[in-house]
Structure 1
């Protein structure tokens, strides 16, 4: 990404979620910003989706290496470190005036304090922090409730919950083509988990709760991203400084920090490198989640999550191995891939 010095009246900063607005305050896109004539997706939207999937796949690999290869005892501590690093990155980049936190904010303005976001704006983003904490806690608990194939199957239904939440919050309606592609994704997920349909009411309830909180979190990003006046970096900053202390207290109460201090490979060069890559990728992943959701939609973000799962499974099988071959799982994954591809196609051509 290229950067331009902030001495001119027109600043080119890192890509953010704000787009040009017309005289009525409505967002609009120039014809040359579209992927092609008639497309419903802009070039920036396509870049955001591809960047999100790339970062997500790589982050899973490094998290898997830390938790499995090095047997690190606490995923919560990794999440906390990722959040702290994200806030540090944002603070330094904002201080150096490489990025801004508000849509249309000039980087020439000097900063006399470390408060980059007003308290009023911070209060406005409280629902985002609350939905993130609910999403994080529900997701961590849901993993324990069911086996991995069934967890993957039920989590694929998140896209349906996301569509429902968007309809409730912003009255978003979808074409029959989009509904068909989403149905194919969900059908493929159940085919993939057909051999593991062992009913567990508590486990299923946890996963569906996780789906609902995920849908609310993504829909909240889309909504607050359009009403807070913040760009993707600003939303990340507010989310980090509000959720960070809560997550720190949570890890203290659970004893995760004590386990981390006693971890034998804590200062191992290999583990430190893995953790560093994990924190760096988490920063870019969170940025791309905010960017993809605000530029495209919460449903697009969810479908991108489903699409990257196929690449994650393939790369994970190559790097870590241990995945037994099952024809129904392969068929289900392919159906999900086709459904995600159809959704992407309908999104591109505007159907």
Structure 2
């Protein structure tokens, strides 16, 4: 995809952004009768690819290198994200507002109006909580069981969406979600590395994820910002709070004393973690606004097949037995059914 700036007034920003106000005709559909658009399908696949790789690199930093602070990794990811967005916006490769032309002249450093920034505060708060809890949840549970427990996020998401916007779902969707949860319970019943604290943090991560996705779905369509603009607001608001938090907790001091801080391998892991976090956040916004919060959660379940396989091979930690395999298959079957119902518009 070319990033060359064009003078045509009909061109959209060079990188794809969410467009909450756009209506889709049949030509935009993935295929005739589908409830998902082509852009929505691309966003879903991109999210799954980035998510698998990011979990691997985060797990490598926290477990393989025993890095002491997940919060510092989150802070680095946020700082890198803001730097990427600033440079891309200054070069006019992207815009922050939905429908804004890429050639708009803006020589100020204030990319988002103050009133718009205030409007996105609930989203920023949900994002900060989501990031902190999710990063901590990776540490306490092995990768296969982490992905298994995270699969129950869809239930939390459906509950939050019902409470916020009275969203209701068809019996087909409810059945597929029930199959996912049942599979997760079957897979987890024989986890010999049970850790009460680790499990509790993962379920808390599920809850914060549900709130975050539901908030994206609401604010993302009313703020007038596209995916990049929402990411910028999150970074500007949450960055200072996270910096103060890591200082108070002593995480910055622990980081400076970390023996592998300047190890080439560890630096490469951190670099890829930050780059992938940027693309993952973008894909989350894009997928949630183009599709839905529940679809975003189901995409997380579908990518777990690759995450579990890679996590088991690279990091180990879970003795796969008959019931675990059955549970995993039930969960993937439920995710596949949901994807089918979404594509067919049921």
TM-score by length of 2: 0.92
1:315 aligns with 2:316: no
Equivalence for 2:166: 171
Give the aligned partner of residue 349 of structure 1.
344
- In the alignment, is the contact (CA less than 8 A) between 1:150 and 1:197 conserved in 2? no
- Structure 1 residue runs of 5 or longer lacking an equivalent are 22-26
1:18 alignment counterpart: 19
Q: Is the 8 A contact 1:149 1:196 kept in 2?
A: no
Q: Secondary structure of 1:227's partner?
A: coil
Relative to structure 1, the CA distance from residue 40 to residue 125 in structure 2 (aligned partners, 3 Å threshold; closer, same or farther) is: same
Per the alignment, residue 45 of structure 2 pairs with 50
Structure 1 residue corresponding to 2:131, chosen from 127, 136, 154: 136
Is 1:218–1:298's contact at 8 Å kept on the other side of the alignment? yes
Question: Within 1, Cα distance between the matches of 2:48 and 2:316?
Answer: 21
1:149 shift after superposition: 7.4
SS in structure 1 of the partner of residue 303 of structure 2: helix
Q: 1:305 aligns to what? A: 300
Structure-2 separation of matches of 1:44 and 1:113: 32
Distance in 2 between the 1:57 and 1:154 partners? 15
Q: Trace 1:149-228 onto structure 2 (pairs within 5 A).
A: 154-196=149-191, 207-228=202-223
Corresponding residue number in structure 1 for 2:7? 7
CA shift, 1:288, in A, is: 0.4
Mean CA deviation greater in 148-157 or 233-242: 148-157
CA contact (8 A) 2:142 2:318 kept: no
How many residue pairs match? The answer is 345
Classify the secondary structure of the residue corresponding to 1:259.
Answer: helix
Q: 1:150·1:196 contact (CA, 8 Å) conserved in 2?
A: yes
2:252 counterpart residue number: 257
TM normalised by structure 1 equals 0.91
Q: Does 1:237 align with 2:238?
A: no
Quote the Cα distance in structure 2 between the aligned partners of 1:244 and 1:183. Answer: 37
CA distance in 2, matches of 1:327, 1:96: 54
Match of 1:28 in 2: 23
Alpha-carbon distance, 1:263 to partner: 1.5
Distance 1:99 1:63, change over 3 A: same
1:292-328 CA distance string (max 9 Å, x none): 1111100011111122222101012223344322211
How far is the alpha carbon of 1:69 from its aligned partner? Answer: 2.5
Deviations 1:155-211 (A, max 9, x none): 332211211111222222211111111010000000001135999998776554433
Contact 2:144 / 2:311 at 8 angstroms: preserved in 1? no
Separation in structure 1 between the aligned mates of residue 261 and residue 134 of structure 2, nearest angstrom: 26
1:39 positional shift: 0.2
Question: What value does the CA root-mean-square deviation take over the aligned residues?
Answer: 2.4
